[in-house]
């Protein structure tokens, strides 16, 4: 039996991102329907979340690129209990560690539009963007039907 999916379209103001100079590009990109991650000019690997230095080689030749939004579930968990609204009303839902197709980068994200029973390690997923206010958006993932 499949659990009904909660509506995640509205989030309280306190959940809105407060970007830093390092990660503002990520949040603004998401509002524009793009998954922007960092690529290192020295080693060529990618990273997420945004940082000043490359997490793979330590170089400071970091630049944002637009990722494909495609990836594979590396691992996941099902959140079944949470006492804090709005998550209290959203359970159960999946949080997945997604290995992006761009080498080096993983994203930890919710999968609010995907039934928990259909998620598996190795499944192909695609980024989705959920606006929060006028400037930013959250990045979620869903099973890739393409």
User: Could you list the residues that contact Zn ion (CB under 5 A)?
Assistant: 40, 42-43, 54, 56-57, 59
Q: Which is nearer to Zn ion, 59 or 65 (CB)?
A: 59
Q: Report which of 97, 87, 113, 91 is spatially closest to residue 15, judged by C-alpha positions.
A: 87
Q: Say if CB 129 and CB 33 are below 8 A apart.
A: yes
- Kindly state the smallest distance separating residue 143's Cβ from Zn ion, in Å: 31
- Kindly state the smallest distance separating residue 25's Cβ from Zn ion, in Å: 18
Q: Which is nearer to Zn ion, 41 or 133 (CB)?
A: 41
Integer CA distances (angstroms), 74 to 4, 65, 89, 136, 143, in order: 25, 22, 26, 26, 13
- Kindly state the smallest distance separating residue 36's Cβ from Zn ion, in Å: 17
């Amino acid at each position: 039996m499949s659990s009904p999916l909660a509506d995640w379209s509205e989030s309280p103001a306190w959940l809105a991102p407060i970007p830093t100079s390092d990660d503002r590009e990520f949040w603004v990109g998401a509002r524009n329907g793009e998954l922007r991650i960092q690529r290192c000019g020295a080693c060529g690997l990618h990273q997420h979340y945004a940082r000043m230095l490359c997490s793979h080689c330590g170089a400071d030749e970091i630049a944002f690129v637009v990722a494909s939004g495609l990836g594979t579930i590396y691992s996941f968990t099902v959140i079944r209990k949470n006492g804090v609204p709005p998550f209290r009303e959203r359970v159960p839902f999946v949080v997945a560690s997604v290995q992006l197709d761009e080498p080096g980068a993983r994203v930890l994200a919710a999968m609010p539009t995907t039934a928990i029973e259909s998620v598996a390690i190795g499944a192909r997923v695609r980024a989705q963007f959920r606006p929060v206010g006028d400037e930013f958006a959250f990045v979620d993932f869903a099973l890739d039907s393409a």
